[in-house]
Amino acid sequence: MFDPVSGLNLDDFATLVERPDAGVRRDARDRWQRLVRPASALGGLAELADWLSAAQGVATVRPIEHPKAVLFAADHGVAALKVSARTEGTAVELVRRVLDGASPVNVLARQYGAGVRVVDVGVDAPAEDLPADVTAHRVRRGSGRIDVEDALTAEEAEAAFRAGMAVADEEADSGTDLVLLGDLSVGGTTVAGVLVAALCGTDASVVTGRGSGIDDITWMRKCAAIRDALRRARPVLGDQLELLAAVGGADVAAITGFLLQASVRKLPVVLDGVVSAACALVAQRIAFRAPDWWLAGQASGEPGQVKALDRLSIEPLLDQKVTAGEGTGALLALPLLRAAAALSAELPERF
């Protein structure tokens, strides 16, 4: 654990994050020889079961009993440039829809038996407008416009990062055994595009997608915003917290902290779309073993997600082009993971 009184030393994660148990994974692979012939007959399902085995530390996978969609919510100042189909400062509407059970993530969570948790770290609305448990980790309202100013102060970036770490600890301590990670943001895909382009060394046009369903004019504004923010991101690539402060946001910093601390706690995570993929890229720079604890639920079709997952060497489990965000793409993978776990646990040994 990190001392909350002392400064945050990101280098500690490189030591604290261990890989999933490779010995158990080999045992799980060998076990398929006694379950099915040929052992490769179940294809990707067996590979998923092996991943779960290593994450759980047991050759016979335990059922996924307490999955939870964890959604970090925030507004981004860059939305003032009209880079989104949504109006700036309206992340609170996305939060309320989830809290009311009326979002796609709620439908899938009910269907698949998953919990849903919303964590407001930077929604631009009065805290009293939302339940206290949702705003308990709020760092600030909104963020700076990253094309011309920092998204967060250094202190806010660290506070948001620590908030994500705290949420990971809360989920691990409460018995959550699989996290389906997503975001509720306005302007978030623009921020994600900046991070992916900066960390992959590519141009704005390569990572700029349609996000919330934007038209050509809005796409050009978004591309210009990413290009301008890239000029501010490149000088601080050597310091990940400084990068998150300069061109990130409270939700992005929190998701990055969450991913790293979840890896420390050996809590497997399924990534949703381009925002969580961009955060995973930042986290990988801090702890190179951390990506072994993550899967990608589905290919959203966002070019930034494609670039980020390629750099992470993570292949999406599904290709459905779902761009709804909110953890929806991550939830789509839950039945596959449950099927893999059931096959590992219930097939009798015959050979």
Q: Return the residue matching tokens 């055994």.
A: 177
Write down the pLDDT at residue 39.
81
Dmax (CA) for the chain in angstroms is 65
Residue 295 sits at φ, ψ, to 5 deg, of -125, 165
Beta bridge partners of 269: 179, 294
**Domain 67-334, CATH number (from 3.30.420.40, 1.10.260.40, 3.40.50.2300, 3.40.50.10210):** 3.40.50.10210
* pLDDT computed for residue 157 by the predictor: 97
Distances from the Cα of 182 to the Cαs of 5, 6, 22, in angstroms? 29, 29, 28
Going from N- to C-terminal start, the domains of the chain cover 19-63+340-346, 67-334
Measure the CA–CA gap between 270 and 250, rounded to whole angstroms.
20
Q: What is the pLDDT along the chain (351 residues), one digit of tens a residue?
A: 333 334 789 999 999 999 999 999 999 999 999 999 898 899 999 999 999 999 999 999 999 999 999 999 999 999 999 999 999 999 999 999 999 999 999 999 999 999 999 999 999 999 999 999 999 999 999 999 999 999 999 999 999 999 999 999 999 999 999 999 999 999 999 999 999 999 999 999 999 998 878 999 999 999 999 999 999 999 999 999 999 999 999 999 999 999 999 999 999 999 999 999 999 999 999 999 999 999 999 999 999 999 999 999 999 999 999 999 899 999 999 999 999 999 999 999 887
pLDDT tens digits, 230-265: 999 999 999 999 999 999 999 999 999 999 999 999
**What six digits make up the tokens of 70?**
């964890």
Answer yes or no: are the C-beta atoms of 94 and 326 closer than 8 Å.
yes
At 211 the pLDDT is 80
Annotated active-site residue 326? The verdict is yes
Taking only the tens place, the pLDDT of each residue in 34-81 is 999 898 899 999 999 999 999 999 999 999 999 999 999 999 999 999
Give the amino acid at 160.
A
CA nearest to 225, candidates 145, 123, 152, 124: 145
Q: Active site residue: 156, 158, 171, 326, which one?
A: 326
Q: What is the pLDDT of residue 5?
A: 36
Phi and psi angles of residue 96, each rounded to the nearest 5 degrees, phi first = -65, -40
